[in-house]
Chain A
Amino acid sequence: MVAAIVNTLVQGVLIGGLYALFALGLSLSVGVMRAVNVAHGDFIVVVSYLLLSIATGFGLNIFLALALVLPVAFLGGFALQRYLLQRVSGKAVLAPLLVTFGLAIIIQNGLLEGYGADPRVLPGGALETKVVSIFGMQLGLMPLVTLAAAIVLIFALDRLLYKSQVGALIRAVSDDPGAASLIGLSPNQVYGIAMGIVGMTVAVAACFMGLRSNFDPASGPGNLLIAFESVVLGGLGSLWGTLAGGVVLGVAQGVGGQIDFAWQTLAGHIVFLAVLAVRPQGLFPRY
């Protein structure tokens, strides 16, 4: 009984690592766009398909494929911000929200047209089936690597945003674009770079999502809701809080799934709404 409870919790924490990967890019992009990127989940899915095509097309190891895709993802994020989102960004939430909403629908249906509706999974090779034993528990290596990737990425992003020069620029422009341009910064350039970084986090999330679970053209909105819930649960602006938010969701879904498989997703939403009711600022708000 105790072992079963511990196992549910541990599995929840491990899936929380994946959810944090979904959420990191969203958290960063809200600061840039001043709106939620409704297509965030679909961006993750489209990169998963790109990784699938590269890995299977050239017979490459999936992590090698990821290394090839990272610079593409940076450029994709940069271009999206500079040539599309920047043109509609302003005070109102409406325009950027609706543009990304349109993108989301285009991506979902474009993938449906190009790849069909069948669920896919990324080829993980030997990593898929490896199991390690920790404190007597048999844990899959892949979920552990995913959680480790989330922790490394959060650490790196935290350093980048709060300790590096680029991070100082991003924060300056995001806090006050007017003042930032007064002192000679180019907000558009900085926003572009920030969205490029978001693109790279999306690529990492796409890789681990495809390794850990099935995906299909309609998976995007589910990813978006998970990412969104993790960000709000964790507390706005806090990267480590986002990890905590992802873990809370993962554990809630795990416990729900124990009661009845069909309750898994609903349990996550219910915990999210309950936390929103009692603690709207999230668990670890930075601001």
Chain B
Amino acid sequence: MAKLTSYAAPLRGLLVLGAVALAFGPWLFGGVTQIFLTQFFCMLVLALMWNLLAGYADIVTLGQHGFVGVGAYALYGFTALGGVNPFVAVLLAGLVAFLVAIPTMALVFRLRAVYLAVGTWVVAEALMLTAGKLPGLGQGSGASLPVAVARMLGATPSARFASIYWLAFALALAAFLTTYLLLRSRIGLGLTAMRDNEEAAGAMGVDLRRARILCFLLTAPFLGVAGAVITLQKLRVSPMSSFSVNEWTVFVIFNVVIGGIGSLEGPILGTLLFFVLRDHLADLGPWHLIVLGALSIATMLLEPRGLWGLARRALNFDLIPVSRAPSREFAARFQGGPTPQGEREISAHPAE
């Protein structure tokens, strides 16, 4: 077992190398692969955000698709109606999602913890129905982005693919780094303490409410920008697809749960697996979701930390460590001797 930890550095190196390679995607991959990876980046962002809320901040939201849809409609409004450059509109869409998140937060945080999840779903439903009534946005049947907007992304189709690819890549990278740095920060330490024992964390002076509000508001702009990038790729908005509960909430939850909730590796692994299996499972029709639902229930029953939880047991180290290693002195006192690598983290994995 001890030897496996020596793979940590090479594996992390491989991960960084892979990310660097992806940055040059348009020069390395063909159009189909670029579209595929663009979808992967967007789904990864949704998974990272849901994981931050459900896995760390104890906010189980079922209404993610609400902010994705707001981002999609904001993009349409700014570009098709307002004539704003799409690269700017993508960022503005994130701002709009953030502005919508403020009153949403004020409302759903009034609900007790057990009711909060369904409360977010009600808000998402209300946002979807409202989007279908906005004048100039296609109402219930939706609207297509004008060709002129697509042209602003690039003169040729391949230039457009590349633009959208880079937008999605930059978003995914930003989402990953933000989550990583947040979890490594003081706030992340508080969140981890809260996840492990809420009362004890509160007693130690962790401001739980503030940390949870911060996380909720932080995720909204990322979801909104993801919705905007998705719309640039689909070139269409409609209440049913832009606010799709299946696409932007159900699949995302399954990906995170199966991959491993409460870690950064889990959402990446789950989203990767989802895209690898998607083409095979899509032929199954309704059975696709039945299989994913059964897998996620089995995960909750057998290994609540998902596939990454299983892998980590074998590896005995975090690929993307968000928790801090205890000092050797501390480890020696609590574990009856210094650990071989001084790398075993106490707070990361509470007794299950």
Binding site for B on A (CB under 8 A): 30, 34-36, 38, 84, 87-88, 92-95, 97-99, 101-106, 108-110, 112-113, 221, 224-225, 228-229, 232, 236, 262-263, 265-266, 269-270, 272-273, 276-277, 280
Contact = CB atoms under 8 A, between A and B. Distances in A.
Contact of A38 (B113, B118, B285, B294): B118
9 contacts: A34-B114, A93-B113, A102-B300, A103-B297, A225-B121, A229-B122, A236-B112, A266-B133, A280-B111
Contacts of B80: none
Given A225-B122, A229-B122, A262-B140, A105 B293 contact: yes
Contact of B287 (A92, A104, A113): A113
A38 B111 contact: no
Size category of the B interface is: 35 or more
Contacts of B107: 273, 276-277
B34 to A, nearest CB: 30
A84 B297 CA distance: 9
Given A94-B60, A105-B289, A272 B122 contact: yes
B117 A110 contact: no
Nearest to B253: A101
A224 to B, nearest CB: 7
A242 B68 CA distance: 32
Nearest to A260: B133
A266 B140 CA distance: 13
Contacts of A87: 301
Contacts of B133: 262-263, 266
Contact of B114 (A30, A101, A105, A266): A30
B123 A98 contact: no
Chain B binding surface SS class: helix
A278 to B, nearest CB: 10
A97 B117 CA distance: 9
Interface in B283-315: 285-290, 292-294, 296-297, 300-301, 304
A92 B54 CA distance: 11
B125 interface: yes
Most buried by A among B111, B112, B286: B286
B306 to A, nearest CB: 11
Contacts of B250: 105
A109 B250 CA distance: 13
B91 interface: no
A-B pairs with lowest CB-CB distance, top 8:
A109-B286, A280-B110, A102-B297, A269-B126, A266-B129, A105-B293, A102-B293, A106-B293
B130 interface: yes
B292 A105 contact: yes
A88 B352 CA distance: 12
Given A36-B118, A221-B245, A270-B126, A106 B253 contact: no
A224 B129 contact: no
Given A97-B117, A102-B296, A228-B118, A276 B111 contact: yes
Contacts of A270: 126
B122 A228 contact: yes
Given A101-B62, A106-B294, A225-B118, A88 B289 contact: no
B287 A109 contact: yes
B300 A99 contact: yes
Contacts of A102: 254, 293-294, 296-297, 300
Contact of B110 (A30, A95, A262, A276): A276
